[in-house]
A and B are shown apart, each in its own frame.
Chain A
């Protein structure tokens, strides 16, 4: 199986603090991989290294066989092949929801405004936000904002969707609507790499689970295996805290 995205022995430190200590992970097309682990274990950093928001200290990242960790590649062009959704939505407050969704289409992919708007509206309609298209993000609930942010990330039809703890900032009753959308995307065959604390969701939706601990991958495998029979003591400990 040839991987769509392959990270080999990634290392990243911030000053003295070593955050990734040799992380290797790969994801095939149409695969859903969940990265779990305590806060500070390096989940977010891993995701941000993959789409070149951070520069790695060592290792290699291959996207469709191309070495994207080579400083000679155009990082903007590489980032445009990813879709990213963040914990705190990061919608642009000065733009309408529709303009948020179409910004990348128009300015990175050079799609004409009318065509971009049409695609944006179609996607917003799909997630039930068509009536909010002309509103600014601050008029939306947290759940609606995060769904709009997901639409913004998939508007360009990215090769891989990176989800960085996208429900961690939401009120508990709003988590469901966001996860439902992710589940739909996964069912359609979207390639997703997500850092998450939603263990039940990861078990349901992910094809593979990766447990990150102090910058290393301690355990990985199908969710049934990792959740039911964790081999490592640290994994057991971590999972018990989440089941409680």
Chain B
């Protein structure tokens, strides 16, 4: 920082003046481009002949308020599915990831199965998994199963495949010398994993995990297809009653409001990690 004993040199003063001019210029450019963007939106969207109709059928305040309670009620179901899934995905994905990192010939079949699992379920669209679980499991058991459990199961199956890969990458990103140091002091395989590898891996995988969490927050809206009256299905019902699409906007708004804190938190955390790792550098 500035040293009080030394007044800045003429050279430094010149540099500071230049930087100040540059930042003033940047603010000005940002302002102009924002105005230009607003003008383009106004000209292309708000001035189109169909805008009045769209406004009425998608952004109708009366429908907004009348549909909100029902959509909100459905949204609470989404939150339940989400809360359940977070727990089951965390457990299941960790198990899959650990199975994939096991070494030794004995574990070959387990490794292959775990790898096949992640390949298959990262490949199948979530909506198909939902259909298969939602209609297949009750048929298999020949009895009714609470829809919320079926929805949670489908999301767990798909998301565990993604999340286990993030966890595995995190585990493998911990330098092997850390394992060696741990084993050298007599810690066993499981102790090394728990005390040395996983705590370090967790830091590395937090940003991608939070990303998957954001994706999961909105994908819980897909459980509507197995018949669960969640926010999306509630909005659909409201729309069919009012002949107005505003309820979808209500549902969308609720999902966005749910996602924003996580997204901001992810950004903040990633930025903090970056600051720590590149301390003292401008690039």
The chain A residues found within 8 Å of chain B, CB to CB, are 51, 53, 76-77, 79-84, 86, 88, 90-94, 103-104, 107-108, 152-153, 156
Query: Does A79 contact B185, Cβ atoms closer than 8 Å?
Result: yes
Q: How far is the CB of B186 from chain A (nearest CB, A)?
A: 3
Q: Is B196's CB within 8 Å of the partner chain A?
A: yes
Q: Which residues of A contact B183 (CB under 8 A)?
A: 53, 76, 79
Q: Is the CB of B187 within 8 A of A104?
A: yes
Bits for B152-185, please: 1 = Cβ < 8 Å to A, else 0. Answer: 0000000000000000000000000110111111
| Minimum Cβ distance to chain A for residue B187 (Å) | 6
In the complex the two chains form, is A90's CB within 8 Å of B181's CB? yes
Mask: chain B, 173-212; 1 = CB below 8 Å from A; 0 = not: 0000110111111111001000110011001000000000
A230: shortest Cβ distance to chain B, in Å?
A: 32
By the criterion CB–CB under 8 Å, are A84 and B184 in contact?
A: yes
Q: Tell whether, in the assembled complex, residue A86 and residue B196 are in contact, meaning their CB atoms are under 8 Å apart.
A: no
Q: Is the CB of B184 within 8 A of A51?
A: yes
Nearest Cβ on chain A to B62's Cβ, whole angstroms = 55
Interchain CB contact (< 8 A) of A92 among B178, B184, B203: B178
Name the residue in B177, B178, B184, B196 with the highest tally of chain A Cβ atoms < 10 Å from its Cβ: B184
Q: A107–B184 contact, CB under 8 A?
A: no
* Bound CA–CA A20/B180 (angstroms): 20
**Is A156 a contact partner of B178 (Cβ separation < 8 A)?**
no
CB distance from B38 to the nearest CB of A (A): 47
Contact between A76 and B188, CB atoms less than 8 A apart = yes
Known: A103-B195, A107-B191. A90 touches B185 (CB 8 A): no
Number of A-B contacts (CB under 8 A): 56
Report the bound CA distance from A59 to B155 in whole Å: 54
A53 touches B187 (CB 8 A): no
Known: A90-B177, A90-B178, A92-B196. A103 touches B184 (CB 8 A): no
Residues of B within 8 A of A156 (CB): 185-186
A89: min CB distance to chain B, Å: 9
Contacting residues, chain B, for A153 (C-beta < 8 A):
185
Q: Which residues in B have some Cβ–Cβ distance to A below 8 Å?
A: 177-178, 180-188, 191, 195-196, 199-200, 203
Other-chain contact of B185, A88, A93, A94, A103 (Cβ < 8 Å): A103
- A and B contact pairs by CB, cutoff 8 A, 23 listed: A51-B184, A53-B180, A76-B183, A76-B186, A76-B187, A76-B188, A79-B183, A79-B184, A79-B185, A81-B186, A82-B184, A84-B181, A84-B185, A86-B180, A90-B178, A92-B181, A92-B182, A92-B196, A94-B203, A103-B187, A104-B187, A107-B187, A153-B185
**CB-defined contacts of B178 to chain A, threshold 8 Å:** 90, 92
Known contacts: A76-B186, A93-B200, A94-B203. The answer to whether A107 contacts B195 by CB under 8 A is: yes
Question: Is A53 touching B185 in the complex (CB atoms < 8 A)?
Answer: no
Min Cβ gap A154→B in Å is 11
Q: Which of A53, A77, A83, A90 has the most CB of B within 10 A?
A: A90
| A108 and B181 contacting across the interface, CB-CB below 8 Å | no
Residue from A86, A88, A94 within 8 A of B199 (CB atoms) = A94
* Chain A residues whose C-beta falls within 8 Å of the C-beta of B191 in the assembled complex: 107
Residues in chain A near residue B180, CB distance under 8 A: 53, 86, 90
Closest CB of chain B to A169's CB: distance in Å?
11
> In the complex the two chains form, is B184's CB within 8 Å of A108's CB?
no
Q: How many angstroms between the C-alpha atoms of A53 and B181 in the bound complex?
A: 10
Q: Nearest Cβ distance between residue A69 and chain B, in whole angstroms?
A: 17
Which of A53, A77, A88, A94 is close to B184, meaning CB atoms less than 8 Å apart?
Answer: A53
Residues of B within 8 A of A90 (CB): 177-178, 180-181
Is A104 a contact of B200 with CB atoms below 8 Å?
no
Query: Contacts of B186 on A, CB cut-off 8 Å?
Result: 76-77, 79-81, 104, 108, 156
Beyond A82-B184, A103-B185, list 20 extra A-B contacts (CB 8 Å): A53-B180, A53-B184, A79-B183, A80-B185, A80-B186, A84-B181, A86-B177, A88-B177, A90-B177, A90-B178, A90-B181, A92-B181, A93-B200, A94-B203, A104-B187, A107-B187, A108-B185, A108-B186, A152-B185, A156-B186
Tell me the smallest distance from the CB of B171 to a CB of chain A, in Å.
Answer: 14
Residues of A contacting B196 with CB < 8 Å? 92
Nearest chain A CB to B100 CB, angstrom units: 23
10 tightest A-B CB contacts, nearest first: A80-B186, A90-B181, A104-B185, A84-B184, A108-B186, A79-B186, A94-B199, A90-B177, A76-B188, A76-B186
Contacts of A79 in B (CB 8 A): 183-186
